[in-house]
A and B are shown apart, each in its own frame.
Chain A
């Protein structure tokens, strides 16, 4: 069930928040032993919150469309009195004394927190194969990774444990799992959603956003968490938009950029076919497809990696004497980051400014940019390399190569699930800063052409059904 469906059923008196929550907890009990999506399940708090939501709704105190809806938070969002591990042994028993801004926003909206989801260690990787808390599995094929680092959130939503979960994205960590698990994943503009109380990986690349089954649900989640927060230095004063797409979203005459370089050079055949089809559908809806050459993405990815490795190493420097508490892949990244020079980091930040000026020129010609979210579908657990059109590539590099640039740029980007005969495939939709409304409109228009992509998935086994 989606948020939209559940909210409607709640207000029609067909179901209560308690029933929704019990359904969610039952799904977790049934599927979590295999998928390992949750690190912590907050049974009693969830039941109390559901009772409270039902009481408030019965009394006419309606907090909006998220009221009474079960959700989950990636285990980087601080939750007062509830363990928040960041997927690391360093924080294995860390119980925050306060909530993150997002935690508070979602509580204020009346959601029911069912628990904290697993992730790649310290959110620093894309497999979610966590050496300390176990491997997280893809609900579409449990022999495959869900993507990461927000792999637990994606697995929880894709399997029907909850209709929505929050993720964080430093180099694709919302969009990659969304793509691999057949979900909508939205990385908002830098500064749109407060980072306060989120355990950081990187000071200038981290973004917070939702993973949901539908575009409308992503819009509802963003509406609840967007806005200025004085506690976050990078928080924006830009007015919050009205994100929910109209009933019949219109993309007539919209200029959609199709990159002529990089993004279509090497793709798995199924990905190419699905993304080509998305362009055709958009064109049939009246949009104009504009071929466009984008700046050198390979260079952008290199700059982003220098910044990420430097900032993450700086952040974790005080903990690096506890080497036994790190997994091998994350420890290797921190060691590499420590070897970089300060001038490399500063020059990477100077290059970032040039890249932002250069890339911004694309908006003179287009309104949104479409790219594949990833050149590949979900790899097998433990797979190190992937062969794309005859060329072997590191799974981590291949997975992040299309998404990382938009963390560096700070632009909003959404991964939309595309119809696929086999494993899920994502389309990345990018727009100018603070144009989340436009992205969500475009995504909703396309989604209407293949409704309920993720709901038809074999990964999703709903217990409760409503007419």
Chain B
């Protein structure tokens, strides 16, 4: 069942300037994205890593 993006926006306190376009863009993205999720094997991990510095608790110098 497609997501009701207007309700999502309301629930999250998002007030888009153009609600119609907001919903249309997300609906189109969802239609293309959802079928891909079904192809992910159960054991696939995200392509993001916990860096050595993060594990060690050493923050890189940052902005």
User: Which residues of A are interface residues toward B (Cβ below 8 A)?
Assistant: 78, 196-197, 199, 204, 230-234, 298-299, 302-303, 305-306, 328, 331-332, 335-336, 338-340, 344, 346-354, 356
CB pair A353–B33 under 8 Å, yes or no, is: no
CB pair B33–A332 under 8 Å, yes or no, is: no
Q: A233-B54, A339-B14 are in contact. Are A302 and B47 (CB under 8 A)?
A: no
Chain A residues whose C-beta falls within 8 Å of the C-beta of B51 in the assembled complex: 233-234
Chain A residues whose C-beta falls within 8 Å of the C-beta of B2 in the assembled complex: none
Cα distance A347–B37 when bound, in Å?
7
The residue that A349 contacts in the complex, of B14, B17, B29, B48, with Cβ under 8 A, is: B48
Cα distance A350–B43 when bound, in Å?
10
Chain B residues whose C-beta falls within 8 Å of the C-beta of A78 in the assembled complex: 63
Q: A332-B17, A332-B22 are in contact. Are A305 and B63 (CB under 8 A)?
A: no
Chain A residues whose C-beta falls within 8 Å of the C-beta of B16 in the assembled complex: 332, 335-336
Which 3 pairs from chain A and chain B are nearest by CB? Answer: A349-B46, A353-B47, A352-B47
CB pair B8–A303 under 8 Å, yes or no, is: no
Name A's interface SS: helix
Chain A residues whose C-beta falls within 8 Å of the C-beta of B62 in the assembled complex: 231
Q: Name the distance in Å between B49's Cβ and chain A's nearest Cβ.
A: 9
Chain B residues whose C-beta falls within 8 Å of the C-beta of A234 in the assembled complex: 51
Name B's interface SS: loop
CB pair B9–A339 under 8 Å, yes or no, is: yes
Residues of B1-34 at the interface with A, using a CB-CB cut-off of 8 Å, are 5, 8-9, 12, 14-18, 21-22, 25-26, 29, 32-33
Cα distance A331–B63 when bound, in Å?
23
Cα distance A328–B36 when bound, in Å?
30
Chain A residues whose C-beta falls within 8 Å of the C-beta of B54 in the assembled complex: 233
User: Which residues of B are interface residues toward A (Cβ below 8 A)?
Assistant: 5, 8-9, 12, 14-18, 21-22, 25-26, 29, 32-33, 36-37, 39-41, 44-48, 51, 53-54, 60-63
Of chain B, the residue at the smallest CB distance from A305 is B29
Give me 20 other A-B pairs in contact (C-beta within 8 A), A196-B61, A336-B26 excluded.
A196-B60, A199-B63, A232-B60, A302-B36, A303-B33, A332-B17, A335-B14, A335-B15, A335-B22, A336-B25, A338-B12, A339-B9, A346-B46, A349-B48, A350-B44, A350-B46, A352-B47, A353-B44, A354-B39, A354-B41
The residue that A354 contacts in the complex, of B12, B25, B40, with Cβ under 8 A, is: B40
Q: Name the distance in Å between B22's Cβ and chain A's nearest Cβ.
A: 6
Cα distance A340–B46 when bound, in Å?
17
CB pair A332–B21 under 8 Å, yes or no, is: yes
Of chain B, the residue at the smallest CB distance from A334 is B14
Chain A residues whose C-beta falls within 8 Å of the C-beta of B32 in the assembled complex: 298-299, 302
| 18 examples of A-B residue contacts, CB within 8 angstroms | A299-B36, A302-B32, A305-B29, A306-B29, A332-B16, A332-B21, A335-B15, A335-B16, A339-B9, A339-B12, A340-B26, A347-B37, A347-B40, A349-B46, A352-B47, A353-B45, A354-B40, A356-B47
Chain A residues whose C-beta falls within 8 Å of the C-beta of B45 in the assembled complex: 350, 353
Chain A residues whose C-beta falls within 8 Å of the C-beta of B17 in the assembled complex: 328, 331-332, 335
Q: Name the distance in Å between A269's Cβ and chain B's nearest Cβ.
A: 28
The residue that A197 contacts in the complex, of B14, B46, B63, with Cβ under 8 A, is: B63
Cα distance A233–B50 when bound, in Å?
9
CB pair A354–B44 under 8 Å, yes or no, is: yes
Chain B residues whose C-beta falls within 8 Å of the C-beta of A348 in the assembled complex: 33
CB pair B22–A231 under 8 Å, yes or no, is: no
Q: A233-B53, A306-B29, A352-B46 are in contact. Are A336 and B40 (CB under 8 A)?
A: no
Of chain A, the residue at the smallest CB distance from B21 is A332
Cα distance A86–B60 when bound, in Å?
22
Cα distance A302–B9 when bound, in Å?
21
Cα distance A350–B36 when bound, in Å?
10
Cα distance A158–B15 when bound, in Å?
40
Cα distance A306–B37 when bound, in Å?
12
Chain B residues whose C-beta falls within 8 Å of the C-beta of A331 in the assembled complex: 17
Chain B residues whose C-beta falls within 8 Å of the C-beta of A338 in the assembled complex: 12, 14
